[in-house]
Amino acid sequence: MRWIFPLLVVTPLWAETCPEGPDMDAALADLIAEGQAADRYMPARDALRDMWAIWKTPPDDWSGELLDVGLERANMADYEGAMKAFDALVAYCPTWAEGWNQRAFVYFRQENYTMALKDIDRAIALSPNHIPALSGRGITLMKMGRQAEGEAALKHAVDLHPWLPERGLLSEPYGAPR
């Protein structure tokens, strides 16, 4: 059941704590290895798509509802509505990296790079191999004028996924596919 009113998100009374999600570290490691071993773009892209499915797998129905609402609002450029959903999501489920990552992206789109970086760092602390968060960290740091730090973060993301399109943002070629 979703209780979403315009710009208002109400957490149901029975949803007091977010459960731990399933351990998907082995599946993620396999997909990272698959992307690293890919000799063409399409298999690497498919591996990254499957990684996204892992990162976006909610721990429970309520966290999934909050994510869906936040994404829907963000896609409509309703950043206020998206932030309400993502604020509720990270409050309810503070151990799920994707909530922090998606809220960071909304901050980024609003050019609030300081808050974006704070949330990205939290996402990475929870999921150290979260390639989009690592890439986002790099791009955010670059937007903040911290080029060397940004490139280092982006290189780490490219090390995990050599076919990452964002590698083109680096000042020198790095991690180019074979």
- Res 8 pLDDT > 70: no
Angle at 52 between CA 32 and CA 164, to 5 degrees: 55
Domain contains 170: yes
pLDDT given for residue 171 in this prediction: 85
Domain contains 79: no
Instruction: Give tens-digit pLDDT for 120-178.
Output: 999 999 999 999 999 999 999 999 999 999 999 999 999 999 999 998 898 887 765 55
Angle between the 147-160 and 25-37 helix axes, to the nearest 10 degrees? 90
Place of tokens 């710009």: 7
Q: Per-residue DSSP letters for 89-142? A: HHHH-TT-HHHHHHHHHHHHHTT-HHHHHHHHHHHHHH-TT-HHHHHHHHHHHH
Domain with 31, as residue range(s), is 24-55+129-178
Integer-rounded Cα radius of gyration of the chain:
17
H/E run at residue 33: helix 25-37
Instruction: Give tens-digit pLDDT for 12-60.
Output: 544 578 998 788 899 999 999 999 999 999 999 999 999 999 999 999 9
Domain contains 64: no
Instruction: Give tens-digit pLDDT for 58-113.
Output: 999 999 999 999 999 999 999 999 999 999 999 999 999 999 999 999 999 999 99
Domain contains 46: yes
pLDDT given for residue 160 in this prediction: 95
Structural domain tally of the chain? 1
pLDDT given for residue 175 in this prediction: 63
Domain contains 139: yes
Domain contains 13: no
Domain contains 134: yes
User: pTM (2 decimals)?
Assistant: 0.87
Domain contains 147: yes
